[in-house]
Amino acid sequence: MDATIITVFILYFVLIIAIGYMTSRGELKHADFILGGKKLPGWALAFSERATGESAWLLLGYTGFVFMTGLSGIWVAVGIAIGIIFAWLFLAKRFMQETDKYKVLTLPDYLAVRFQEKANIIRWIATILIASFFMFYVGAQFAGAGKMFVTSFGMNHTLGIIITAIIVVAIAFFGGFISVVWTDMIQSMMMLLTLVVLPIIAFVYVAANDLSVSQSLVAAGDAFPSWFGGAAGFAIGVLFFNNFSWFFGYLGGQPQLSSRFMALKNEKEAKQATIVAIIWTILAYTGAFSIGLAAIAMYSQGTFADVETILPVMIIDLLPSWFAGILLAGIMAAIITTANSQLLVVTSSISEDIIHKALGMKLSDKQLLFVSRITVLASGILGVIIALTSESLVYLIVSWAWAGVGCTLSPAILMTFFWKRYSGAGVIATILSGFVFTVLWISTPLDSIITSRFTTFFIAAFFGIVFSLMFPDKNNTAKTV
């Protein structure tokens, strides 16, 4: 183990735990723990939303994906970038306005309040959907941390997962949403530093050693130098939609991202946040794609037993220990921010949507806060168990969660916002069909042909439309803009 890198990591861990603790001081209400109480600036929420949205899968999973696929991997970045920009430009302000109007704290509660006739059913099925997929999402983050500790320090994989879990749970436990957002802001900057600086250094190395990205792409395989992976005809469409399909999960259906929109204070803050988020997205995805291409030039195919360790290996190979420690901490930042937010989403759905609203338990603010913190602890333990028992890749686990939650709830949100005939029965049909279809689809070879991220969105939307027309609400509260 490199003592300098370890020292940097220890300082980093102390810093974010201290920030989490300091931002949680003072009297904390349940609404503050869940959604920040409208006290946070827009730029901080934007940094937090981006750090939360781009987890270990971007720094570990996506860079490894580009290394394995070549130029065609760009369509993942294009789909995601367009989805993020669309969400900030057209949905963020609407989320803020709807939150203020209906006085809600969570995405399931918003849907329940909008469709009162089926409110409790909506709360239950939305919470089950979110908790089911997000616990695997949290497990994927912990697993990513374990990989990084093994690669960086030669540390035991299990110990790395446990250390990460302790830090994640501690931050969420102290101050909930407020602590998570402020630590996210610092970690978002560290992620961006890694994604901007490393590709520059890598390409300097490639040029200095007379390596060639274009020649390396050709040598890697026939599909690598093609923007469409060497596909032709119908196969081009399949490849494009499979990679571009990440777009559909960004259309309001990811509660860990939408909560940042809901927490915005006013239109001025929303505009400020939109600019910050768009710039961050363009820089981050350009950097991640470039890292994957540089890796193709630096390492031959088959070099890595696990391609999702490419980024930390490249950092250690190219940089002095002190700088490597900072950039490696950027990877850990991505893991911690997303895991924090996932835990908080599960916690808020259980404490607010189920215990407080669906079951109607008359608890004081302090009791609700206690329940939320206990849920954080329990969810963290479950996440560790999943990380230790799952052998699935980070990229795949996140992809499935993106389909099961994001591509299921996105059509529900879009139709709630923009279609006045959407009904409570339609919401239930949207969620159930998306949930069931995703589980069935990923259990078959069909997912390797056409991804569930694409098919789930349209299946869920189809059932939502059909059931809304068949079973309209007597007093539909949903209104178009």
Position 291 scores a pLDDT of 94
Position 146 scores a pLDDT of 75
What one-character-per-residue DSSP string does 301-363 give? TTS-SSGGGHHHHHHHHHS-HHHHHHHHHHHHHHHHHHHHHHHHHHHHIIIIIIIIIIS----
Nearest partner of 334 among 344, 342, 345, 323, judged by Cα? 342
Six token digits for residue 168: 């994640």
At residue 59, φ and ψ (nearest 5 deg) are -75, -35
Six token digits for residue 6: 């370890």
Nearest partner of 144 among 448, 396, 469, judged by Cα? 396
Which residue's structure tokens are 């490393």? 198
Six token digits for residue 428: 């239930």
Spatial CB neighbours of 409, under 8 Å, sequence gap ≥ 6: 107, 126, 129, 252, 253, 254, 255, 430, 431, 434
CA separation (Å) from 132 to 300, 411, 457?
38, 19, 18
Rounded-to-integer distance, Cα 465 and Cα 124, Å: 21
CA separation (Å) from 431 to 254, 255, 271, 456?
13, 14, 31, 10
Q: CA-based angle 11:13:14, to the nearest 5?
A: 65
Nearest partner of 181 among 280, 103, 285, 259, judged by Cα? 259
Position 26 scores a pLDDT of 64
- Cα 41 to chain centroid distance, Å, stands at 21
Q: How many CB atoms lie within 10 A of CB 442?
A: 18
What one-character-per-residue DSSP string does 370-396 give? HHHHHHHHHHHHHHHHHHHH----HHH
Rounded-to-integer distance, Cα 450 and Cα 445, Å: 9
Position 93 scores a pLDDT of 95
Position 137 scores a pLDDT of 76
Position 464 scores a pLDDT of 96
Is 448 exposed, middle or buried (CB count within 10 Å of its CB: 0-12, 13-18, 19+)? Answer: exposed
Residue type, 282: I
Is 120 exposed, middle or buried (CB count within 10 Å of its CB: 0-12, 13-18, 19+)? Answer: middle
Q: Where are the beta strands (DSSP E) in 379-456?
A: none
Position 439 scores a pLDDT of 85
Secondary structure letter of residue 238 according to DSSP: H
Which residue's structure tokens are 């299990």? 158
Q: What is the dihedral of CA 328, 329, 331, 332, to 10 degrees?
A: 130
Rounded-to-integer distance, Cα 282 and Cα 77, Å: 9
Six token digits for residue 266: 């006013």
Q: CA-based angle 54:410:141, to the nearest 5?
A: 30
Domains of the chain: 3-392 (1.20.1730.10)
Residue 476 · residue 423 · CB < 8 Å: yes
Rounded-to-integer distance, Cα 156 and Cα 159, Å: 5
Position 480 scores a pLDDT of 40
Position 423 scores a pLDDT of 95
* pLDDT tens digit at each of 481 positions of the chain: 568 878 887 888 788 778 777 766 666 777 788 888 888 999 999 999 998 887 667 887 889 889 998 998 898 888 889 999 999 999 999 999 999 999 998 999 999 999 998 999 999 999 888 888 888 778 877 877 777 777 667 777 788 888 888 888 887 777 678 888 888 888 788 888 889 999 999 999 999 999 999 999 999 888 899 887 666 555 566 666 667 777 888 889 889 899 999 999 999 999 999 999 999 999 999 999 999 999 999 998 888 877 878 888 898 889 888 888 887 777 777 777 777 777 888 888 888 888 878 887 777 778 877 888 888 888 888 888 888 876 554 556 666 777 888 889 999 999 999 999 999 999 999 999 999 998 888 878 877 778 787 889 999 999 999 999 999 988 654 444 3
Six token digits for residue 96: 């803020």
Position 479 scores a pLDDT of 45
